């Protein structure tokens, strides 16, 4: 029997028997990990072969480009997979202090250098993912079916009851898998909305914030890496060109150059160097101009942030939820996607623990799920809208109410040039450790709006461009 009634409950509940996760990237892997606590069995289905070694793969083309795992995402991943950070460090990831080791130029100045208790790990996306894969593969009740493509959902009445798989090479027919819960973690390109319509269910509406951005990425050998671990961000706004240079495993610099809208992206090595040189400050160029390239230039085009409004559906089919980029894919320059997915994984852990207490997955589990994740998706989505609606190309779509907020946030950016306190708050909000309302605390507002305020709390504004990044930082103490 597929359903059993919770004693005393009016509606039948599904047992926590078999959960199927679609997509084996960062979010699908974390979902499988949390589901394994409460479900008897978890099957994760991924169309690519998932290697235990860090290598790029076709299903995650963005993996070639710089991926920052924000502090909250790292903390959740570590809590779910204890020892993950040590394994990443052992494999060459770099532990960087957000205040001292991150040189960030934006809005015409460098952010104040300061002592911070905020750390982040700098590494390639394939290293992160392959390290997680190894750990999830080792879970006794999780089966990873990789190299297998999902082609549809199975449904009965109002319920999703499983998935359909493409036929493997050499077989005449595909197969089906039954599930008590199906989790869509197939990323932005997920076909679940289309499959829902084919089955007669409503599909979620979509919203696009069309700030197009292109990425060009190149890796270089990192020399003299011992004394210097600095990551550099040159954020282009209000111009359209940015640059990010992070130290990663294998003694490499990973250099990613994003450009908005129709900014011509570098096609060859000379153009890449010229682009780096054209940024607001030349630090990245100075480091790589004589560097030894270790790869080809990789490119990626992103046509805008996309949100699927599952939370607005009147009826969410029973037995189905979605998470990660399958729900909302954010402009990558803000580095939020993996961390939002990790926060959702944490929420999933609570949701299925509650379901266990309630005696199974109830019919409104999906509806409640999309309401549960709404605040974190809203927070990240609103941040994207706030920043991306600055571009004149999107002016006609910009709600009027954003203007004062944009004005204030630009002052916050400028305050990070002089105030360690504001810089620290900025990094905490950016890393999902504090809510955006932290920008409106009396102390932050005073430092932002009264430039003379709080001089005793200043850090050191280093002229980073005069301190070549291959040497130790010159001044890194809090004033
Ligand atoms: C250029 C770029 C840079 C980025 N930088 C950052 C960053 O710095 N920090 C950050 O946090 N985020 C960043 N992101 C966002 C981040 O990559 C995503 O948010 C994150 O990968 C979402 O994970 P996911 O598991 O939801 O989806 P995805 O990573 O897209 O994975 C989906 C998985 O589903 C599989 N799949 C798809 N269809 C099927 C099918 N039919 N059957 C079986 N398997 C299937 C795919 O092969 C893939 O493995 C960046 C994105 C881009 C494009």
pLDDT digits (tens, 9 = 90+) for 389-421: 999 999 899 999 999 999 999 999 999 999 999
Structure tokens at 391: 């571009």
Q: Nearest residue CA, atom 29 of ligand 1? A: 25
Whether residues 356 and 373 share a domain: the answer is yes
The arithmetic mean of pLDDT across residues 465-471, rounded, is: 35
Domain end marker among 273, 302, 331: 302
Domain count, the chain: 2
Looking at the domain assignment, is residue 433 inside a domain? no
Residue listed under structure tokens 């240079």: 245
**Higher pLDDT among residues 34 and 262, named by residue:** 34
User: Is 212's C-beta closer than 6 angstroms to any atom of ligand 1?
Assistant: no
Percentage of the residues of the chain whose pLDDT score is greater than 90? 85
User: Is 67's C-beta closer than 6 angstroms to any atom of ligand 1?
Assistant: yes
Whether residues 198 and 216 share a domain: the answer is no
Domain end marker among 362, 385, 408: 385
Q: What's the pLDDT band for 7 if we cut at 50, 70, 90?
A: very low
- Report the 10 Å Cβ neighbour count for 434: 17
User: CA-to-CA distance for 155 and 87, rounded, in angstroms?
Assistant: 41
Probe target for ligand 1 pocket from 21, 22, 23, 174, with the most ligand atoms within 8 Å of CB: 23
Whether residues 200 and 224 share a domain: the answer is no
User: CA-to-CA distance for 21 and 44, rounded, in angstroms?
Assistant: 5
User: Is 126's C-beta closer than 6 angstroms to any atom of ligand 1?
Assistant: no
Give the distance (Å) from ligand 1 centre to CA of residue 61.
Answer: 8
User: CA-to-CA distance for 277 and 291, rounded, in angstroms?
Assistant: 14
Task: For residue 70, give the 3-state DSSP assignment.
Answer: coil
* CATH assignment of the domain containing 140: 3.50.50.60
Pairing of strands 41-46, 142-146: parallel
Beta-carbon contacts of residue 114 (< 8 Å; ≥ 6 apart)? 99, 100, 420, 423, 424, 459, 460, 478
Beta-carbon contacts of residue 83 (< 8 Å; ≥ 6 apart)? none
Whether residues 233 and 187 share a domain: the answer is no
Looking at the domain assignment, is residue 173 inside a domain? yes
User: CA-to-CA distance for 364 and 367, rounded, in angstroms?
Assistant: 5
User: Is 120's C-beta closer than 6 angstroms to any atom of ligand 1?
Assistant: no
Average pLDDT, the chain: 91
Probe target for ligand 1 pocket from 31, 59, 333, with the most ligand atoms within 8 Å of CB: 59
For residue 97, the model assigns a pLDDT of 94
Whether residues 150 and 24 share a domain: the answer is yes
Predicted TM-score of the model (pTM):
0.93
The arithmetic mean of pLDDT across residues 440-465, rounded, is: 73
Q: What are the pLDDT digits (tens) for 252-276? A: 999 999 999 999 999 999 999 999 9
User: Is 27's C-beta closer than 6 angstroms to any atom of ligand 1?
Assistant: yes
Whether residues 329 and 353 share a domain: the answer is yes
Give the distance (Å) from ligand 1 centre to CA of residue 30.
Answer: 13
> 89-93, 225-229, 363-367, 435-439: which has the minimum mean pLDDT?
225-229
Give the distance (Å) from ligand 1 centre to CA of residue 25.
Answer: 6
**Cα dist from 217 to 14, 214, 240, 307, whole Å:** 46, 10, 16, 26
Whether residues 291 and 319 share a domain: the answer is no
The arithmetic mean of pLDDT across residues 78-103, rounded, is: 96
For residue 167, the model assigns a pLDDT of 82
The arithmetic mean of pLDDT across residues 87-104, rounded, is: 95
User: Is 432's C-beta closer than 6 angstroms to any atom of ligand 1?
Assistant: no
Whether residues 41 and 54 share a domain: the answer is yes
Q: What's the pLDDT band for 11 if we cut at 50, 70, 90?
A: low
DSSP string covering 108-166? TEEPPB---S-EEEE--HHHHHHHHHHHHHTSTTEEEEET--EEEEEEETTEEEEEEEP
Q: What's the pLDDT band for 173 if we cut at 50, 70, 90?
A: confident
* CATH assignment of the domain containing 235: 3.30.70.2450
Q: Nearest residue CA, atom 11 of ligand 1? A: 338
User: Is 122's C-beta closer than 6 angstroms to any atom of ligand 1?
Assistant: no
> pLDDT at residue 2 above 70?
no
- Contact call for residues 44 and 38 (beta carbons, < 8 A): no
Q: What's the pLDDT band for 203 if we cut at 50, 70, 90?
A: very high
Give the distance (Å) from ligand 1 centre to CA of residue 283.
Answer: 30
Q: What are the pLDDT digits (tens) for 310-323? A: 999 999 999 999 99
> pLDDT at residue 136 above 90?
yes
User: Is 333's C-beta closer than 6 angstroms to any atom of ligand 1?
Assistant: no
């Amino acid at each position: 029997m597929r359903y059993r009634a919770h004693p005393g409950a009016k509606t039948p509940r599904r047992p926590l028997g078999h959960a199927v996760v679609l997509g084996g990237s960062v979010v699908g892997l974390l979902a499988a990990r949390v589901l394994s606590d409460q479900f008897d069995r978890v099957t994760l289905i991924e169309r690519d072969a998932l290697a235990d070694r860090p290598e790029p793969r076709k299903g995650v083309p963005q993996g070639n480009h710089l991926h920052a795992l924000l502090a909250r995402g790292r903390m959740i991943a570590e809590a779910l997979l204890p020892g993950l950070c040590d394994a990443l460090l052992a494999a060459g990831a770099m532990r960087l202090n957000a205040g001292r080791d991150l040189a960030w130029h934006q809005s015409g100045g460098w952010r104040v250098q300061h002592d911070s208790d905020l750390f982040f790990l700098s590494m390639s996306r394939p290293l992160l993912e392959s390290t997680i894969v190894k750990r999830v593969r080792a879970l006794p009740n999780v089966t990873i079916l990789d190299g297998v493509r999902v082609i549809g959902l199975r449904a009965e009445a109002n319920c999703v009851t499983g998935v359909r798989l493409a036929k493997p090479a050499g077989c005449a027919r595909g197969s089906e898998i039954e599930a008590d819960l199906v989790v869509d973690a197939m990323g932005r390109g997920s076909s679940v909305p289309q499959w829902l319509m084919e089955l007669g269910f409503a599909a979620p509406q979509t919203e696009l914030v069309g700030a197009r951005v292109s990425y060009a990425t190149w890796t270089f050998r990192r020399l003299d890496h011992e004394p210097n671990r600095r990551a550099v961000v040159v954020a282009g706004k209000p111009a359209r060109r940015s640059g990010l240079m992070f130290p990663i495993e294998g003694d490499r610099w990973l250099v990613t150059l994003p450009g908005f809208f129709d900014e011509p992206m570098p096609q060859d090595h000379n153009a890449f160097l010229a682009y780096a040189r054209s940024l607001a400050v030349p630090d990245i160029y100075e480091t790589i101009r004589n560097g030894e390239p270790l790869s080809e230039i990789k490119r990626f085009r992103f046509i805008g942030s996309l949100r699927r409004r599952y939370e607005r559906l009147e009826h969410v089919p029973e037995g189905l939820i979605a998470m990660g980029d399958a729900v909302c894919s954010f402009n990558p320059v803000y580095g939020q996607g993996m961390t939002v997915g990790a926060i959702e994984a944490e929420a999933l852990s609570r949701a299925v623990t509650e379901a266990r207490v309630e005696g199974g997955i109830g019919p409104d589990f999906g509806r409640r799920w999309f309401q549960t994740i709404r605040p974190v998706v809203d927070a990240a989505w609103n941040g994207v809208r706030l920043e991306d609606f600055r571009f004149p190309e999107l002016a006609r779509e910009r709600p009027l109410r954003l203007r004062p907020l944009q004005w204030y946030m630009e002052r916050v950016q400028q305050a990070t040039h002089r105030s360690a306190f504001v810089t620290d708050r900025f990094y905490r909000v950016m890393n999902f450790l504090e809510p955006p309302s932290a920008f409106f605390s009396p102390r932050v507002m005073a430092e932002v709006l009264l430039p003379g305020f709080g001089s005793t709390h200043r850090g050191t504004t280093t002229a980073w461009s005069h301190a070549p990044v291959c040497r130790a930082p010159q001044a890194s103490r809090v004033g």
